[in-house]
Chains A and B, each alone.
Chain A
Amino acid sequence: MTLSGIRIPMMTSLIFWMLVWEIVGRMDIIFLIPPMTSVIAAGVGLVQTGSWQAATLITLRSFVLGMALAIAIGVPLGVAMGRIKVVDNIFGLWVNMFVSAPLSALVPILMILFGLGETTVFVTVFLFAVWIIVLDARAGVMQVPPSLIEMGRSYGASRFTIFTKIILLSALPEILAGIRIGLIRGVKGVVIGQILVSVIGYGELFELYSRSFDMERFWALTIILFAAAMLLSAAVEHFEKRIEYYAGAR
């Protein structure tokens, strides 16, 4: 970004808004916005508390388990849907319905089914992430160029070899894109699940801080979550770019 000929670093915008926040906070207009510096100070203190560390552990555990299951089920299901018409007919309608459904509305039902605990959060993460992974994996295997499959056949590849050496590799960029979006949705799932359950992990902390008007810690926790979600997305994107480099001009 350049402004009247002077190069301005990317971080400038961030620093500018943090300054605005600081000034507004210091003016003491509303208690909702404490000064940025005290939010950061609260964040530094927060990460050293046992309650934050325990909450992070629970959050990570639900997230990792939910994502692992979403990938383990989503990718094979999507691939099967892309290759086998019957499977597509059976699951197509449901996947398309759930991918755009407001899943938060289902969490209360999950709470009845799985109780007010980690299981509900884990299932929420799974439900938030799995559908887009299925759809992208399906799109990936359906987009394999027919000539690549003909090429495999003409050079004597078995159906299994064509599947492993051509179809799966060809679909890899889409599968990874699905997993990346699934991860972002999974972060939403873990937060929404915990907030609705509200007795475990970050949900409990959010509940505690907002109820006791501890805005410094509330914002510090929010910023930590935002940063974590962005970092996660950036990490997968970096990995994806390396894969797309191989896929190149497809």
Chain B
Amino acid sequence: MANPIPLRTADDATSDAIVEVREICKRYGDIEALRGINLDFERGKLTTLLGPSGCGKTTLLKIIAGLVPATSGQIRINGRVVTGPGPERAFVFQDFALMPWATVLRNVAFGLELKGVSQAERHRIARHYINEVGLSGFEEKYPHELSGGMRQRVGIARAFSVNADVLLLDEPFSAVDEQNRRKFQEDLLRLVDKERKTFLFVTHSIEEAVYVSDRIVLLSPRPGRVSQIIEPAIDRSAAPDVIRRDKGYLDVVEEIWQGLRQYAE
């Protein structure tokens, strides 16, 4: 390999880990979905969980979110052990999980509505993030009037609105078509840069992972284990088209593919 890629394991994590995953195991009956996962997620970074289907990446994300209980092990957020969902985490769903009977504005403000924030205040915050994700003018539309990509922008605006420290994104672009997907990835990077939050991102697209991530955790399937951690050293200040042709970028994509091809049929 021309460019040696720096490798790190969870052991030499810095003290600035906002999310700590300790010895997480998950069994569904006889099926072992996750085995002994140890990971640290650094504050302000975008980490991707990448792997073939059946490697338990979504399960791990939902365990971190507190939506799925782990069979054993611990999740710590800001040093505190958590067992359920909490306000320091916000989730973005693969199928958007928008309320079809509510307008974009109400959907985005729903997290704040549940927290008991007054209507004027939550609408103000929601309008700000609707604007941030590029949906100004669509506040009074209903989800079925929007395209898949726009619906997921609503989901992302909702997650930003609650001002959580950690954003958990479960294959957020998988239901979005290819052109919009690229635009979306670029917008996501801009938001990551602007909002200074910690992002945990699940995807099965290698290119997407390398393009958006500070750090990529490769999971191997059946049972899901951490097989490799890669930190793509890519200059993200460059233009998107330049990045996508960058040798470093392409090398990392190739390296991950070599690691994963054994799982492909």
Tally of B interface residues using CB under 8 Å: 29
Chain A CB count within 10 A is highest, among B62, B84, B89, B114, for B114
Task: State how many angstroms separate the Cβ of A79 from the closest Cβ of chain B.
Answer: 17
A246 touches B100 (CB 8 A): yes
A156 touches B114 (CB 8 A): yes
Q: Report if B190 contacts A (CB, 8 A).
A: no
* Complex CA–CA separation, A161 to B115 (angstroms): 11
The digit string for A213-240, where 1 denotes a CB below 8 A from any CB of B, is 0000000000000000000000000000
Q: Report if A113 contacts B (CB, 8 A).
A: no
Q: Report if B91 contacts A (CB, 8 A).
A: yes
Q: Report if B250 contacts A (CB, 8 A).
A: no
Write out the residue numbers on chain A whose beta carbons fall within 8 Å of the beta carbon of B66: 154
Q: Report if A157 contacts B (CB, 8 A).
A: yes
Are A246 and B101 also in contact (CB < 8 A) when A157-B114, A161-B114 are?
A: yes
Q: Report if A145 contacts B (CB, 8 A).
A: yes
The residue in chain A whose Cβ has the minimal distance to the Cβ of B95 is A147
A151 touches B91 (CB 8 A): yes
A155 touches B114 (CB 8 A): yes
- Chain A: interface size category: 20 to 34
Chain B CB count within 10 A is highest, among A151, A161, A170, A250, for A151
Task: State how many angstroms separate the Cβ of A196 from the closest Cβ of chain B.
Answer: 42
Q: Report if A166 contacts B (CB, 8 A).
A: yes
Q: Report if B249 contacts A (CB, 8 A).
A: no
Which one, B62, B89, B101, B111, contacts A247 given CB within 8 A? B101
Besides A147-B94, A154-B66, A154-B90, 7 more A-B contacts (Cβ < 8 Å) are A145-B95, A155-B90, A155-B91, A170-B100, A248-B142, A248-B143, A250-B100
**What are 7 A-B pairs at a CB distance below 8 A?**
A148-B99, A151-B93, A151-B97, A154-B91, A169-B99, A249-B144, A250-B100
List residues of B whose CB falls within 8 A of some A CB: 62, 65-67, 84-87, 89-91, 93-95, 97, 99-102, 110-111, 114-115, 142-145, 158, 162
List residues of A whose CB falls within 8 A of some B CB: 145, 147-148, 150-157, 161, 166, 169-170, 172, 243, 245-250
